[in-house]
Amino acid sequence: PAAAQAFRGRAGVAPLLDLLARVEPAAGPPLGQALRRVFPRLRRRGLAVLVPDFLADAERQGGWRRAVDFLHHRRVRLVGVHVIAASERDPGALGAVRLVDAEGGGEVLVDVDEARRADYMARFARHVREVGAYLREREARHVVVDAGAPPAALVRTLLRAGLLRWGGVDEA
C-alpha cells in the first residue's frame, strides 16, 4: 500500500510522483501502525509528509493526532498535507442530497437548504483551521492541496514552501 514508504533525495522524486499518481482514496492500515512499520527503517531525522484525511481520529484507527504527536516526539520535520476537493469546501447542492461514506459505504439522505449549506461550510472551514492549529502547535506545517491537482503540484507546493529542495530533503 501507499502507506509507510520512505523516499530519499533526488532519486526518490520520480518514484514518489509515480506512487502519488497511482494512489486511490481508500481505507488503509491504521496510521499509527503504518508509522511504526516505516519508522524503524529511518536512520536519521528528516521530513515526513503525512497525507491522512484529517477527519477520522478514532482511537481504533490510530488517529491522525496520535500520528502527528508520534512524529513530533521523535523530532521529525512534519508536513501535514490536507487534500481537499472543491465540493468539500462548498457542496453547492441544494435540495435532497444523498451522502455516501466512501470508506464504509453507508448512505444518508439529507435535505440541504441555504442555512444548512452555510452551516456546513462554516464548520468545514473551522475544521481546516483547527487541523492547521494542531499541526502548528507541534511545529509542523499544514499544506492545503486541491484534490483535483496532479501529484506534481504537491511536490511544487512543497518546493515553493521551502520544505523540499532538489538536492534532497532539507534536514535542518
C-alpha cell at 28: 488503509
Compute the C-alpha angle 31/11/45, nearest 5°: 50
Beta strands in the chain (DSSP E): 47-50, 77-84, 95-100, 107-112, 141-146
| Cβ neighbours of 106 (radius 10 Å) | 8
| Most confident residue range from 97-106, 109-118, 124-133 | 124-133
Q: Residue 170: which of 5, 28, 47 has the closest Cα?
A: 47
What pLDDT digit, counting tens, does each position of 2-51 carry? 445 666 666 776 777 777 677 676 666 777 777 777 776 655 667 788 88
pLDDT grade, residue 171 (50/70/90)? very low
Indicate if the pLDDT at residue 61 is higher than 80: no
What pLDDT digit, counting tens, does each position of 116-143 carry? 999 999 999 999 999 999 999 999 999 8
Q: Considering the entire predicted model, what is its pTM? A: 0.75
Q: Bridge-partner residues for 100, per DSSP?
A: 107
What average pLDDT is seen over the chain?
78
Compare 137 and 150 and report the one with higher pLDDT.
Answer: 137
pLDDT at 26: 64
pLDDT at 25: 63
The secondary structure of residue 50, as a DSSP letter, is: E
- Torsion on CA atoms 104, 5, 86, 161, rounded to nearest 10: 150
